[in-house]
A and B are shown apart, each in its own frame.
Chain A
Amino acid sequence: MESKDRPGSGPGPGRLLPSPSDRHALPGRLLDSERSLAFLLLAPAVAMLLVFIAYPFATGIWYALSSVRVGDAGHFVGLQNLIAAWHDSIFRTALRNTILYTFWANLFKLILGMGLALLLNHPFRGVRLVRAAVLLPFIVPTVLSALAWRWMFDPTFSVLNWLLYHGGLIAERLPFLSDARWALWSAIAVNTWRGTPFFAVTLLAGLQTINPELHEAAALDGAGSWKRFWHVTRPLLRPVIIVVVVFSIVQTFSDFQLVYVLTGGGPANSTHLVATYAYQVGIGAGLLGEGAAMSLFMFPVLLTVVWSQLRHLRRLEGV
């Protein structure tokens, strides 16, 4: 049992001593105990996690393993939905698209975000304003920015095509969304535009924790800017990079809104991601079980990525 005389649990300076009746009151005793207080403070968060994360997740697993349809509870079918999804050529296209989309978008976001962070780490006039402005793509709701991009990629009225044409750079309109390859790369470009600020601001915060004396010492030893970046900045920033990349991979792999608004998965399924196709199957066709099974395909991939990256991070911290 915990002692009531433990430091921190007794009356603080200036506090009136509790009356004997107060001391015996149940709420007071509960609040005096650190364990009880911790439980009370954590309870709302745990309840939220249980209701909004654990319950839907468990329901999703049950759906994936059952023949549930809208309005029909279904029955247990084991791995049948997962096998059916694997044999669905559109799903396989969506899975391939999702992997490509996640890989390239995160690579671009990392490179551009790092460049931006390095730039913003140098003081210049109006740096605060620029730092705030850089966040804009991240702040604007995804649906709105995706709509704006859809207009910019519009097959007939694309402002990008207009600029390129009148700038003498193209003779024919570029098929941003009407060609299968162009459409996927267009989606990757928009995701990169949207996610780069998150990388830049987080990496900037990491950069500002690096002691400038390390750079000065390296410079005195004759290291140029690239060597200083590679041998000083990069290793010290690695834990931040890992955390940012993990977060971004999770978000990008499960992306839905951007592609749903930009292309709806077309043309001919060439931009479907796992999430958009799962929605189409689960909601559009009412096959909740198959839709859930497709969504579940994302789980082991994300779990592997997050686990390996965090393990790497722990190893780094151990060093």
Chain B
Amino acid sequence: MESRRMKRRDFLKKAAGVTAAAAGLGGLTGILSARRAPAYAQRRRLRILRWNDFIAQADEVLKAQAAEASRALGADVTFEFVNVADLQARITAAIQSGSGPDIVLMLWAWPQLYANALVDVSDVAEPIGRVQGGFYDIFQATARSGDRWLAMPHSVGGFFPHYRRSWHAEVGAAEFPKTWDEWREVGRRLKARGKPVGQSLGHGLDASTFSYPLLWSFGGAEVDATGKRVVLNSRAAVESVRFLQAFWQEACDPSGLAWDDTANNRAFLAGELSATANGLSVYIVAKRQQNALRDERGQPLYQDIETALMPAGPAGQFHLNTPFQHAVMRYSQNQRLAKEFLRWMHRREVYERWFTVNEGYSVGPARVWEEHPMWTRIDRPMQTMRRATRMSLMIGHPAPASARATEAYSKYIVVDMYAKAAQGMRAEDAVRWAEGELKKIYET
């Protein structure tokens, strides 16, 4: 049997182990109380959460730039890309748990929604905005609160009609209709030929980017300029809904009520639609897959695709383009590094590489990018976004894009007003229903 007496050598080994463990515990306690990593492990890390871009090359550029930024800033910079539909769930979880990515990409007016959880980035945004001639107005509504920038404007995604040039010419439209009434008439002729307009009125991005401009161009609005009084129930809004009912019946594919954001792309590229309002991805896919996607004459489909601005209504011509901005999260332990990164990211030579690979799908946050030489090199249909952001209003217009405007947007109230009318509800009733829902949001 083994002797129970401890030898000197064993004692020394065990004593050394106990000492090391105690030191380790003491170290851990120290780290926890200091709430920071020990000095020897302090390699700075920066995590950025973004969506999966529809232009895959744009994400590739960012991945390459992460390595460059890591060297330039002396930190480990990493991007994480998630489906756009999962972005808000990730943001919510990160804010509520107080941990997660240091910088988050935010669409629309999300910075207003999460304002309490964001760091003031005015010291980053103001100088960059000044150098670039000022950000587009939509960012004043989405990323700014008083004199404080909630997030750094990054880019703008566009939505506008894509149409088949030859088919429109066949029904006498040499160019895309300039007004809603003209589109209704041209669409009626095309639908009679089995080539309807394809518009989503489902719960998705495309439906919103169509519905809001339609409302504004007839002179309607959700609220007044104070953002506290709902003014939707107006003659203008009712007229816009009546127009939609006629347009839907005479010119549109009725199945658009069920479309998600990819359905119209598929239908258009399959030659089922004469026109659809969408991001530039329709054209880009048609061009990239030109050997597979052909028109009825056997020619590459993309050569017959043209883009145009949204039609004008009695009150004007408007767009709802998507603002993208980067927010630095308040829980982040690397706020200073995050701001350094944003400054680095928006240096002209750095941002330019991301901007040019987009070829007009996403554009810069300020007018200076309208003058970039890229615009002269890309195809004509890809140039529509060059100045379209000037025409963009924002959800909640004419009030600032508040958290309440985001709530109304998230509940698809304006979209569903049109969707209900498209399904047969009287225009007045559809507007009244939407007014009631908006009042619960804005006036309580």
* B202 contacts A264, C-beta separation under 8 Å: yes
* A264 contacts B411, C-beta separation under 8 Å: no
* B258 contacts A90, C-beta separation under 8 Å: no
Restricting to A270-295, which residues have a CB under 8 Å from any CB of B? 280-288
* B410 contacts A284, C-beta separation under 8 Å: yes
Residues of A within 8 A of B267 (CB): 155-157
Q: Which of B38-46, B151-159, B180-188, B249-257 contacts A (4 or more CB under 8 A)?
A: B249-257
* A266 contacts B255, C-beta separation under 8 Å: no
From the candidates A179, A284, A286, name the one contacting B114 in the complex (CB within 8 A). Answer: A286
* A155 contacts B258, C-beta separation under 8 Å: yes
* A178 contacts B270, C-beta separation under 8 Å: no
From the candidates A89, A90, A267, name the one contacting B419 in the complex (CB within 8 A). Answer: A267
* CB nearest neighbor in A for B413: A90
Residues of B within 8 A of A84 (CB): 440, 444
* A175 contacts B254, C-beta separation under 8 Å: yes
| A77 shortest CB reach to chain B, Å | 12
* CB nearest neighbor in A for B112: A286
Query: Is residue A173 within 8 Å, beta carbon to beta carbon, of the partner chain?
Result: yes
* CB nearest neighbor in B for A154: B263
* A179 contacts B260, C-beta separation under 8 Å: no
The docked-state distance in angstroms from the alpha carbon of A180 to that of B425 is 12
* A87 contacts B203, C-beta separation under 8 Å: no
Residues of B within 8 A of A72 (CB): 116
The docked-state distance in angstroms from the alpha carbon of A154 to that of B444 is 39
| A287 shortest CB reach to chain B, Å | 7
Query: Is residue A269 within 8 Å, beta carbon to beta carbon, of the partner chain?
Result: yes
| B197 shortest CB reach to chain A, Å | 14
A89-B433, A156-B255, A284-B410 known; A264 and B96 CB under 8 Å?
Answer: no
The docked-state distance in angstroms from the alpha carbon of A90 to that of B444 is 17
Residues of A within 8 A of B258 (CB): 153, 155, 175-178, 183, 263, 266-267
Contact with B along A181-201 (1 / 0, CB 8 A): 001000000000000000000
* B411 contacts A286, C-beta separation under 8 Å: no
Query: Is residue B280 within 8 Å, beta carbon to beta carbon, of the partner chain?
Result: no
* B266 contacts A286, C-beta separation under 8 Å: no
> Which of B272, B406, B411 has the largest number of chain A CB atoms within 10 A?
B411
* A155 contacts B256, C-beta separation under 8 Å: yes
Query: Is residue B124 within 8 Å, beta carbon to beta carbon, of the partner chain?
Result: no
The docked-state distance in angstroms from the alpha carbon of A183 to that of B263 is 16
The docked-state distance in angstroms from the alpha carbon of A262 to that of B321 is 26
* B203 contacts A266, C-beta separation under 8 Å: yes
Q: Which of B69-77, B84-92, B382-390 contacts A (4 or more CB under 8 A)?
A: B84-92
Residues of B within 8 A of A283 (CB): 88-89, 92
Residues of A within 8 A of B412 (CB): 266, 269
* CB nearest neighbor in A for B110: A286
* B423 contacts A173, C-beta separation under 8 Å: no
Interface of B is mostly: helix
Query: Is residue A53 within 8 Å, beta carbon to beta carbon, of the partner chain?
Result: no
Query: Is residue A216 within 8 Å, beta carbon to beta carbon, of the partner chain?
Result: no
Query: Is residue B381 within 8 Å, beta carbon to beta carbon, of the partner chain?
Result: no
Contact with A along B389-417 (1 / 0, CB 8 A): 00000000000000100110011100010
| B162 shortest CB reach to chain A, Å | 16
The docked-state distance in angstroms from the alpha carbon of A208 to that of B86 is 45
Query: Is residue B113 within 8 Å, beta carbon to beta carbon, of the partner chain?
Result: yes
Residues of B within 8 A of A284 (CB): 88, 410-411
* A286 contacts B92, C-beta separation under 8 Å: yes
From the candidates A88, A183, A286, name the one contacting B440 in the complex (CB within 8 A). Answer: A88
Restricting to B63-116, which residues have a CB under 8 Å from any CB of A? 88-89, 91-92, 95-96, 113-116
| B90 shortest CB reach to chain A, Å | 10
Query: Is residue B420 within 8 Å, beta carbon to beta carbon, of the partner chain?
Result: yes
Residues of A within 8 A of B126 (CB): none
From the candidates A90, A267, A282, name the one contacting B423 in the complex (CB within 8 A). Answer: A267
Residues of B within 8 A of A220 (CB): none
| B132 shortest CB reach to chain A, Å | 29
* B440 contacts A87, C-beta separation under 8 Å: yes
* A70 contacts B91, C-beta separation under 8 Å: yes
* A70 contacts B96, C-beta separation under 8 Å: yes
The docked-state distance in angstroms from the alpha carbon of A87 to that of B440 is 9
Query: Is residue B312 within 8 Å, beta carbon to beta carbon, of the partner chain?
Result: no
* CB nearest neighbor in B for A88: B440
The docked-state distance in angstroms from the alpha carbon of A107 to that of B170 is 54
Contact with B along A157-176 (1 / 0, CB 8 A): 10000000000000001011
Residues of B within 8 A of A282 (CB): 92
Residues of B within 8 A of A178 (CB): 254-259
| B266 shortest CB reach to chain A, Å | 7
Residues of B within 8 A of A153 (CB): 258
* B114 contacts A71, C-beta separation under 8 Å: yes
From the candidates A156, A175, A264, A267, name the one contacting B270 in the complex (CB within 8 A). Answer: A156
A72-B116, A175-B258 known; A156 and B440 CB under 8 Å?
Answer: no
* A266 contacts B263, C-beta separation under 8 Å: no
Residues of A within 8 A of B190 (CB): none
The docked-state distance in angstroms from the alpha carbon of A313 to that of B253 is 52
> Which of A69, A265, A267 has the largest number of chain B CB atoms within 10 A?
A267
| B143 shortest CB reach to chain A, Å | 16
From the candidates A89, A267, A269, name the one contacting B201 in the complex (CB within 8 A). Answer: A267
Query: Is residue A129 within 8 Å, beta carbon to beta carbon, of the partner chain?
Result: no
From the candidates A69, A157, A264, name the one contacting B266 in the complex (CB within 8 A). Answer: A157
A89-B433, A286-B403 known; A266 and B411 CB under 8 Å?
Answer: no
* B254 contacts A287, C-beta separation under 8 Å: no
The docked-state distance in angstroms from the alpha carbon of A268 to that of B419 is 6
Residues of A within 8 A of B444 (CB): 84
Residues of B within 8 A of A286 (CB): 92, 113-114, 403, 406-407
Known pairs A155-B253, A155-B263, A266-B203 / 13 extra A-B pairs, C-beta < 8 Å? A69-B403, A89-B437, A90-B411, A154-B266, A155-B258, A156-B255, A156-B270, A156-B272, A178-B254, A266-B202, A267-B423, A280-B410, A286-B92
Task: Name A's B-contacting residues (CB within 8 A).
Answer: 69-72, 84, 87-90, 150, 153-157, 173, 175-180, 183, 263-269, 280-288
Can you list 16 A-B contacts (CB < 8 A)? A70-B95, A71-B115, A71-B330, A72-B116, A178-B258, A266-B203, A267-B419, A268-B201, A268-B257, A268-B416, A269-B416, A280-B410, A281-B410, A285-B407, A288-B92, A288-B96
Instruction: Please provide the 7 A-B residue pairs with the shortest distance between their CB atoms, ordered closest to farther.
Output: A155-B255, A71-B117, A284-B410, A177-B258, A178-B258, A267-B257, A285-B407
